[in-house]
Structure 1
Amino acid sequence: MPAKDQNAKYDFIIIGGGTAGLCVAGRLAENTSNSILVIEVGKGNPLEEEMISTPALAFHLPETEYDWGYETTMVDSHGFKRVEKHNTRGKVLGGSSALNYFSWMRGSKGIYDEWAEYGGEDWTFENCRSFFKKGVSFTDERNILGMEPPDVGSDGPLKVSPTLQIPLATELKRAWTSRGYPITNDIFDGTVNGMTHLVRSIYQGIRSISTDFIQGRPNITIKTSTMASKVLLEGQSVIGVETHGIEGRQIYFVEKEVILSCGVFETPKLLMLSGIGPKDTLFSHGLNCSVDSPNVGKHLQDHPILPHVFRVKDGYSLDPVIRPGPQHDQAALEYKKHQTGPMASDLLRPLSRGKVTLRSANFEDQPYINLNFLEHPVDVVGLREGVRFIDDVLLRGDGMTDVITDPCGSCRMGRTIEEGVVNGRLKVFGVQGLRVVDASVMPVIPDGRIQSPVYMIAEKVIQMLLS
């Protein structure tokens, strides 16, 4: 039996203290009458870990204790199958905002207007624009851009800033323009076209993460090193959650809502373990089916990326700094003192769809993940043309085998339960008091990195809760 806690009832329980989860928690806590519980399977105090706080050490984070390291089927089509054992997702307070590569972009207007076909007019680009900006403060104290700053945001707790350019950037720009391609100063207006100066979630040499939203909030209780094993239902209403962690098995009850922010892989898994999902899948694992929701775990999307490897002249690359070696060690020492220091083709609008499903009924087992890259023949053509485009710029203009992942869509929004898992207000179909707030609700993958869209979704949900 779980330990009894007569006070273990909260207004809101958030499962997953990651990018979206902590943003939602912090915003809910602005109303001091709300009590909020955050359940996080990873460790707390992420910025005390040098690998997390120091941007140049980000490449060291995969396959550490802060990484889920998901075994993932990348391709299973056309007679070819490839399995990757380490698909990186953040397993620490702050989630993937503590492990990503910092990129801050929104994507194009057309993508969000397409979201509106699934979730309603609230999700058009124009109706999302203010929520992209709400949680962010853009700073350019060193005038790196040398121009009017883009309309990113100015009043939020999360600090973002432009990156210092490496010497190679000047030559890339020259090659780019010589082939007739545009330079753009602002990719935040819904147009994604051309070369631009990247904005990143870094401020004064330190990574900015979602823990920025929860500072000084005494009405938030955080349970780290604790895993939710199921959402508890009474009829079709959520009454609480069951967890396992350093305090043993616990049950926490909820007054208003449970919010799932476990991420694109863990959220559908937890829904299925709670009896919400495709009934045949649940029955095959000996689980009861409270809500037959056929789209749970379906429609998984990601950006396949093909790194291009070129030799560059000495002094043009940061590779000696970010890879282990003497220059890397010297840069790390410099960073400790002053917090300073020193191309790929990416299919941004894939048509292929993968899935997330259960391996077993054991909550500690990883889900089965099939990204199903290149299943659609148009994706193969698109990636091929991307390779040709990069080669045109780098080989004809003047003058890595990593995979960058942006998985989303496994609990997508829709107009009905036959189309999606949640409605336009991100409420789970068929259940009262349960919402999903993370990348899994995206019906169409943004054509750019997804960190900023995840924060936007979290900010937008707060408006929905308040209204």
Structure 2
Amino acid sequence: MDETYEIIVVGAGSAGAVVAARLSENPAWKVLLLEAGPPNKSVWLHVPIGFAKLFTNAKYNWMYNTDPEPHIDGRRMFTPRGKTLGGSSSINGMIYLRGVRTDFNHWRQMGNVGWSYDDVLPYFRKLESYAGGDDAYRGRDGPIEVTDAEWRNDLTEGFIAAGRELGLPRNDGFNGPTQEGIGYFNLSQKRGIRNSTARGYLKPARGRPNLRIVTDALVERVILDGRRATGVEYSIGGERRRASAGREIIVSGGAINSPQLLQLSGIGPGQLLSDHGIEVRHELPGVGENLHDHFNCKTSIRVSQPLTVNDHVRNWRVRALAGLQYALYRNGALTVAAGVVGVFAKSRPELEVPDLQVHFFPFSGDDLSVAPHPFSGVTAIVNQHLPESRGHVRITSKDPRKAPSILVNYLKEEIDQRTTVAGLRFVRRLFGTKAMKPFYVSEMKPGPAVQTDEQLLAYARANGDSTYHLCGSCRMGMESAKFSVVDDRLKVHGLEGLRVADASIMPQITSANTNVTSIMIGEKCADMVKVDIQC
């Protein structure tokens, strides 16, 4: 079957759904959106607390694992990625954070024209709808509705008081002019329902006759005619199909799937492709390189008062009331995200901006994706903002169904090690304040036996985790820059008609959860395509 469109978007995730929805606003352009996963029909894709249930659900999650990571005791790191309409915005923890001015100004300093903070701020404002904050920084009528975390009680207020005791300013506007401080997170929820890009962008666009959305469609390669991308080959249930693109193909598979697809299409490091029997159509060494992520480590304590998610889950009466509360009012325990209180702090006073982020979650368990402890407990997860360790994504076969090799090299660099240890010490200081004394019973992890820097680093190597913010594997930069894959208009270097738009293009990770920045990238990409096609 041969189909013809003006524009083909590969991947209906955090960025791809945005690109397809925005470009289909022009009724003259036929747009095809291909998604490898199924439709987003599960109720747990919409109820916020469902992120915990979808963590290991292979129907909606690619469920990747890294190769053995040499600097964290050879552990394979579980790496979930969304596989449905909305992509990871449909299964993530819903923390809504942009990053800071210096993040994007650094992108611009790397040679990426149009990506400074002042350049991208209008797109952040365009995509959101939020009632609070300063009009200069916040959007009022965008597709992604944003709310403040509603889980508030004496325990969360006590944790905020702990930060104030350590000298942090109260800050309930992390997406405003300054990030440093402690306060409640913004969440991507709309009246108690997850607001993914599937809900915010695709749902309103579905009725357009010029937009075709195809799910369960695995794109196997981009078709090249010389130096121009002309179409894609994809399969549904074993049936192979082709679609042609008269104008543009935008790859939005994310930090793992986008470089994998380019490599399968003969675009990437020549030796890697040849080793797997793939014809080298366009040598581009940076495809799959520069992969990085936020590495986190948790501190969990037992608390004395029943003010946690643990207490709701283990008591069937409380659990039933929480379900009823959600059904009637769309609030309560079922709206809890992957963090309630946020902390942004400096590990060293001379730093210009915070280099540590803490997610305070009113839950404790042996793992955050499994059953809670049978007592009241909380967890604080700390991560370094700007890790220097880098890894890669590389195909292991010409079979598009076979997972690629993923290596992030967590804690490879000494600065990442030092900052992680400093973060663990900082969280201990928070829990050791007078403000937390009425709640504190005992530290479960790392535990009282772990005290020295060497012991804390060993604990991090053995117990630290991905924050699921993988990015950078199709790096944006000047053609002369090392490992650059796309230019500042997201066009693949040396090719025509092919762009990448998702977290993989980030030259350096942001000082925040990355999902909202991925949505911004989709918005900006759509605008650039509109301008370039009209020209």
Q: TM-score, normalised by structure 2?
A: 0.81
2:201 corresponds to 1:213: yes
Counterpart CA distance in 2 for 1:464 and 1:351 is 30
1:424 aligns with 2:488: yes
Residue 329 and residue 71 in structure 1: after superposition, are their counterparts in 2 closer, same or farther (change >3 A)? Answer: farther
Q: What displacement does 1:108 show?
A: 1.2
What letter corresponds to residue 258 of structure 1 in structure 2? Answer: I
Q: Distance in 2 between matches of 1:453 and 1:349?
A: 15
The one-letter code of the counterpart of 1:338 is Y
SS in 1 for 2:243: strand
Amino acid at match of 2:249: V
Tell me the distance in 1 between the aligned counterparts of 2:25 and 2:315.
Answer: 43
Q: Counterpart in 2 of 1:378? A: 415
Task: State the superposition RMSD in angstroms.
Answer: 2.0
Following superposition, the deviation at residue 322 of structure 1 comes to: 5.9
How far apart are residue 374 of structure 1 and its match? Answer: 0.2
Conservation of the 8 A alpha-carbon contact between 1:355 and 1:369: yes
- Contact 2:54 2:61 (C-alpha < 8 Å) held by counterparts: yes
Matched, 1:458 2:458: no
Q: Which amino acid aligns with 2:48?
A: P
Work out whether 1:441 is the aligned partner of 2:505. Answer: yes
1:273 alignment partner AA: L
Distance 1:376 1:324, change over 3 A: farther
Distance 2:480 2:283 in 1: 9
What are the superposed Cα offsets for residues 354-377 of structure 1, whole Å, 9 maximum, x if unpaired? 110011111110111111100001
Distance 1:324 1:360, change over 3 A: farther
Distance in 2 of aligned mates of 1:257 and 1:122: 21
1:73 paired to 2:67? yes
Q: Which amino acid aligns with 1:466?
A: K
Hey, which bits of structure 1, 4+ residues long, moved more than 4 A? 147-150, 322-326, 400-403
**What amino acid maps onto 2:66 in structure 1?**
T
Q: Determine helix, strand or coil for the equivalent of 2:6.
A: strand
Amino acid at match of 2:476: M
Q: Which amino acid aligns with 1:353?
A: R
Q: Is the 8 A contact 1:107 1:190 kept in 2?
A: no
Partner of 1:116: 108
Q: 1:330 and 1:247 mapped to 2: Cα distance? A: 46
Per the alignment, do residues 451 and 225 of structure 1 end up closer, same or farther by CA in structure 2, a change over 3 Å counting? same
1:161 to 130, 134, 147: 147
Q: 1:50 aligns with which of 36, 43, 48?
A: 43
Residue number among 469, 476, 491 corresponding to 1:406 in the alignment:
469
Structure 1 residue runs without a partner (length 5+): 141-146
Say if 1:304 and 1:346, in contact at 8 Å, map to a contact too: yes
- For 1:382-393, list aligned pairs within 5 A: 382-393=419-430
Which residue is 1:177 aligned to?
164
Distance 1:117 1:319 in 2: 46
Stretch deviating more after TM superposition (158-167 or 291-300): 158-167
Q: Is the 8 A contact 1:125 1:190 kept in 2?
A: no
Q: CA deviation at 1:151?
A: 3.3
- Does the Cα contact within 8 Å between 2:172 and 2:185 map onto a contact in 1? no
Q: What CA distance in whole angstroms lies between the structure 2 residues aligned with 1:203 and 1:323?
A: 27
8 Å CA contact 1:133–1:152 kept in 2: the answer is yes
Matched, 1:100 2:87: no
Q: 1:324 to 1:376 in 2, by over 3 A?
A: farther
Match status 1:132 vs 2:124: yes
Distance 1:424 1:149 in 2: 28
Spell out, residue by residue over 1:102-145, the C-alpha distance to the aligned partner (whole angstroms, 9 max, x if none): 011111111111111334231111111111111111146xxxxx
Gaps of 5+ in 2: 334-379, 437-444, 446-462
Q: Which residue of 1 aligns with 2:299?
A: 308
**Displacement, 1:334?**
3.1
Following superposition, the deviation at residue 160 of structure 1 comes to 1.1
| 8 Å contact from structure 1 (residues 416, 423) kept in 2 | yes
SS at match of 1:82: coil
- Aligned with residue 18 of structure 2, among 20, 23, 38: 23
Task: Give the SS at the match of 2:527.
Answer: helix
CA distance in structure 2 between the partners assigned to 1:322 and 1:412 by the alignment: 42
The C-alpha deviation readout for 1:431-450, integer Å capped at 9, x for no partner, is 11000000000000001101
* Contact 1:119/1:413 (8 A) holds in 2: no
Q: Distance in 1 between matches of 2:314 and 2:477?
A: 43
Q: d(CA) in 2 for partners of 1:151 and 1:203?
A: 20
8 Å contact 1:139–1:159 — kept in the other structure? no
Letter of the 1:218 counterpart: P
* CA-CA distance at 1:325 after TM superposition: 6.0
Residue 244 of structure 1 pairs with residue 235 of structure 2: yes
* 2:28 corresponding residue in structure 1: 33
Change (3 A) 1:421 1:247: same
Kept in 2: contact 1:118–1:424 (CA 8 A)? no
SS of the residue corresponding to residue 432 of structure 2 reads helix
Counterparts in 2 of 1:432 and 1:254: CA distance versus 1, 3 Å: same
Secondary structure (helix, strand or coil) at the match of 1:110 reads helix
Q: CA deviation at 1:82?
A: 1.0
Call closer, same or farther: CA 1:455–1:292 in 2, change over 3 Å: same
Report the CA distance shift for 1:422/1:449 in structure 2 as closer, same or farther (over 3 A): same
CA 1:288–1:148: 2 relative to 1, 3 Å: closer
The equivalences for 1:271-282 within 5 A come to: 271-282=262-273
Q: Residues 176 and 418 from structure 1, CA distance in 2 versus in 1: closer, same or farther, beyond 3 angstroms?
A: closer
AA matched with 1:315: P
AA aligned to 1:75 is: E
**1:227 to partner: Cα distance:** 0.2
Percent pairwise identity: 31
TM normalised by structure 1 equals 0.92
Q: C-alpha displacement at 1:233, in angstroms? A: 0.4
Call closer, same or farther: CA 1:17–1:131 in 2, change over 3 Å.
same
Change (3 A) 1:333 1:72: farther
Deviates more, 1:329-338 or 1:411-420: 329-338
CA distance in 1, matches of 2:422, 2:66: 26
Instruction: Please name the residue that 1:358 is paired with.
Output: 395
Whether the aligned pair in 2 keeps the contact of 1:41 and 1:92 (CA below 8 Å) is: yes
Pick which of 97-106 and 178-187 moved more. 178-187
- The equivalent of 2:53 in structure 1 is 60
